[in-house]
Structure 1
Amino acid sequence: MRRTDRLFDLIQLLRDGRLHTASDLAEQMEVSVRTIYRDMDTLVASGIPVEGERGVGYILRAPVFMPPMALTQVELEALHLGAALVRQTADTELQEAATRVLTKIDQSMPEPMFGALDGFGKEIFAAPEVAASFGNMPTIRHAIREKLVMLIDYTALNGRHSRRRIRPLQMEYWGRAWTCTGWCEERGDFRVFRVDRINDILVPGDRFEQEPGQTLVDYLKRFEAS
């Protein structure tokens, strides 16, 4: 679980107004007590009204609310369309996340705003190339997020087979295909790979640093200049 998600879940646990020991929180969150201590320090430093101390427990002294949302009909339609696209063109993890986001948003909106959404965004179909990418996408997204080197077995459009060691920087959706842009260590340059043509991915756990000339910003500058 990402740390930001864990911090959000901790706030939800503390919203009952009761005293929670670090050991109880650690058990519910499936992390160590030391991790809970660090997370509580982070919440306090960010202004969340948590009181308590190590060895005693923690309690939320004031209610914490999500900021109110005032969405127009068109904005709501845009969110539903975006979620529909994700549910049809992304992997299972992102599909489920899109559904959860819409549920949270819909529950906060007034009932009259949903009449125009009946049937909205349902006629979206993923191309075969997109569907073929789903198996690789969670691994690639994790590697991008954690800055992990990937070893890939790849077949180019011309049928040429190669094995590459790349530093993944971002994924792109082109309507009929997903691609992954990264720094290829074999070529010493940026390369763009079709995700559906990656036959196998190995993530050995090697982290890479953002070196000058090899970052996403550098790639985008070159792309814009071309």
Structure 2
Amino acid sequence: MRRTDRLFDLIQVLRDGRLHKAQDLAERMEVSVRTIYRDMDSLVASGIPVEGERGVGYLLRAPVFLPPMSFTQIELEALHLGAALVRQTSDPELQQAAARVLGKVDAAMPEPEAAPDSGVSVYASPEIEAGFAHMPVIRSAIRGREVLALKYRRLDGVGSTRHVWPLQLEYWGRVWTMCAWCELREGFRVFRVDRIEATLPTGRFYEDMPGRTLRDYLAQYD
């Protein structure tokens, strides 16, 4: 979690007006007690009315009003529908992020209301569910520019093992695909995530190279 997000979450916790021990806050935020001490110092320095001291606890002595957000009913429905889609994944990081987003939206609304009833239910297709297990590894590799070892099986049943530079995940309504630079084929390839049988980080990392970047891949379709 980014520090700015953690500071926002700390404010949300402290808004109940009760005394919170640093140890309890540290466990909730999954950081060290020392980090909580530094965060509290930052909140005080920024003008947030936090009172307390190390070894005792912290609380808010005055209400904190966050910047107002104004959403239409259809915008709220879009947010909740998007969160419902994310919660269908088996990626804990994304699931928790979706819950935090809705929590921030509801907390900042002038008159918090129950989640809007959009009249829509979300059910993942078998193809989507088959790829969920690989999504955390792929997303991490894209962020960290790490080469992945893939065990892949095409629709015709032919299997192969590849080392790829993952560049982007793409959603096509029924299936997810991953575009990547394939070291075996020395070119761009697109892999259906539900056809991936195994993903393994290699510990090797790649740098941007002319002709192998996401921009180069997308330029083929301009």
TM-score by length of structure 1 reads 0.71
Give a deviation string over 1:141-167, Cα, whole Å, max 9, x none.
111111111001100111111110001
* Secondary structure of residue in 1 paired with 2:197: strand
Q: What count of residue pairs does the alignment treat as equivalent?
A: 199
Deviation at 1:191, TM superposition (A): 0.7
1:193 aligns with 2:200: no
State the Cα RMSD in Å. 3.7
d(CA) in 1 for partners of 2:183 and 2:211? 13
Q: Which residue of 2 aligns with 1:139?
A: 137
Q: Which residue of 2 aligns with 1:74?
A: 74
1:174 aligns with 2:165: no
Alignment of 1:54-73 (within 5 A): 66-73=66-73
Deviation at 1:140, TM superposition (A): 0.6
Identity %: 49
- Shift in CA distance, 73/195, structure 1 to aligned 2, threshold 3 Å: same
1:97 aligns with 2:97: yes
Q: Which residue of 1 aligns with 2:57?
A: none
Q: Structure 1 unaligned segments of length 5 or more: list them.
A: 17-24, 51-56, 58-62
Deviation at 1:119, TM superposition (A): 5.4
d(CA) in 2 for partners of 1:157 and 1:14? 50
CA contact (8 A) 2:168 2:214 kept: yes
d(CA) in 2 for partners of 1:190 and 1:91? 27
Q: Which residue of 1 aligns with 2:59?
A: none
CA contact (8 A) 1:165 1:186 kept: yes
CA contact (8 A) 1:171 1:180 kept: yes
CA contact (8 A) 1:80 1:121 kept: no
Q: Which residue of 2 aligns with 1:107?
A: 107
Deviation at 1:110, TM superposition (A): 4.4
Deviation at 1:49, TM superposition (A): 3.2
Q: Structure 2 unaligned segments of length 5 or more: list them.
A: 15-24, 48-53, 55-62
CA contact (8 A) 1:81 1:120 kept: no
d(CA) in 2 for partners of 1:29 and 1:196? 32
Q: Which residue of 2 aligns with 1:211?
A: 209
* Secondary structure of residue in 1 paired with 2:146: coil
Q: Which residue of 2 aligns with 1:8?
A: 5
TM-score by length of structure 2 reads 0.72
1:165 aligns with 2:163: yes
Give a deviation string over 1:15-48, Cα, whole Å, max 9, x none.
97xxxxxxxx999764697xx6xx98xx89xxx7
d(CA) in 1 for partners of 2:139 and 2:182? 17
Deviation at 1:109, TM superposition (A): 2.3
Letter in 2 for 1:8: D
Runs of 4 or more consecutive aligned structure 1 residues displaced over 6 Å after TM superposition: 25-28
